[in-house]
Amino acid sequence: MEKFCDRAVLLWAHLHGVALCLIEPGKPNQNAYIESFNDSFRDECLNVHWFLSLADAQEKIENWRIEYNEDRTHSSLGNVAPREYYLNHSQA
């Protein structure tokens, strides 16, 4: 059923001149940044925790998000945590 819906949406978009910006199946390199993030999120959060309720999931995911965005080192920042990078570069 899912593939049928996918095809229907693609056909409708084509017939109505709508350009869809999607990652093609089997071509994750079309958006490597988000694919890398998705891998990290899955490996470091989703595969590590049991979610006992929606509130529990929200809390655990938020804690992971804060750690990822503030405390964890990133190679794109010279292996410095975003918070540290900001503090070192915001003092002009």
Average pLDDT, the chain: 85
User: Residue 68: is its pLDDT beyond 60?
Assistant: yes
| Among the ranges given (22-26, 70-74, 88-92), the one the predictor scored with the smallest mean pLDDT | 22-26
Rounded CA separation 43/12 (Å): 36
Binning pLDDT at 50, 70 and 90, where does residue 47 land? very high
Rounded to 5 degrees, what angle do the CA atoms 56, 40, 90 make? Answer: 95
What pLDDT does residue 1 have? Answer: 45
What pLDDT does residue 21 have? Answer: 78
Global confidence as pTM: 0.61
Q: Which amino acid, 58?
A: Q
